[in-house]
Amino acid sequence: MALVDVSRIPKHVAIIMDGNGRWAQARSKPRTAGHERGADAVRATMRAARRLGIPALTLYAFSEQNWDRPEAEINALVDLLCECLVTERNELLDNEIRLSAIGRLHKLPKHAQSRLRALSAETEACEGMTLTLALSYGGREELIDAARALASAARDGEIEPDEIDEAAIDRFLPSMDLGPVDLLIRTGGEQRISNFLLWGSAYAELYFTDELWPDFDAISLYSAVRDYQGRERRFGLVPGVDEDATVRKGPHKLERAI
């Protein structure tokens, strides 16, 4: 098996973690058992990403659309999140992993919001990797929120309509704090983006695998990264283009941090 090229590690990896329900169904277990095993896969992937030196990992943990699932499943997912925010505390601190969250977080139960805030604050100074959980997140919703904020800023005279360019929109999108996505992975066999990081994934390399999320592990991540390393990224230009001079234009936090 080919090795990962440590000089060409993607800076921002995002994952659509799909297949928990089917994993459980195949074992005649409740869907929540799939989510529990999914949490183990999150831990394994986070460790592997940190070991590889990936600076930013963003996980689609709960979409805006997931609020339409049965209440019992939503409660189980929120409980699992809260539990992980306790059990993974040392893992994050010991491995220098900063926790961050994006999405309409105000829709989460108050106790989940405060645990998220507390662990984010506690890990604020960690510089090894940023783990971002997309919670109550939707790419279109994020763009709507940004459009509203930009419209308000224009109304208040803080920005001229003509000044609204790519960099301005980047600044209004929390998901762009860490820069654009280089590698977007989706497990579970479906080949779609499902309203994840729509703006930031504009030039992402897409990697789809049939593996169900609870089965995803370090080896799965290495395979995805190796596949990414075999791609030629052209950004609509000609071969050999300098990646940092094209999609990574803005002063994103990631560039400032490293």
Nearest one of 20, 17, 42, 19 to 31, comparing CA atoms: 20
Choose the binding region for ligand FPP from 15-23, 121-129, 136-144, 165-173 (rule: CB under 6 A): 15-23
Query: Is residue 244 annotated as part of the catalytic site, yes or no?
Result: no
Site string for ligand FPP, 49-88 (x = CB under 6 A): ----------x-x----x-------------xx--x----
Measured in degrees and rounded to the nearest 5, phi and psi for residue 20 equal -60, -45
- Name which of 64 and 170 has its Cβ closer to ligand FPP: 64
Query: Is residue 18 annotated as part of the catalytic site, yes or no?
Result: yes
Please identify which of the residues 66, 95, 145, 195 carries the catalytic annotation.
66
Q: Does 43 bind ligand FPP (CB under 6 A)?
A: no
CB of 219 to ligand FPP, least distance (A): 18
Q: Does 22 bind ligand FPP (CB under 6 A)?
A: yes
Nearest one of 222, 66, 103 to 207, comparing CA atoms: 222
Please identify which of the residues 18, 170, 177, 182 carries the catalytic annotation.
18
Report CA dihedral (194, 257, 171, 241) to the nearest 10 degrees.
-70
- Judged by the rule CB under 6 A, the positions of this chain that interact with ligand FPP are 17-22, 35, 38-39, 42, 59, 61, 66, 80-81, 84, 133, 188, 213
Name the residues annotated as catalytic: 18, 66
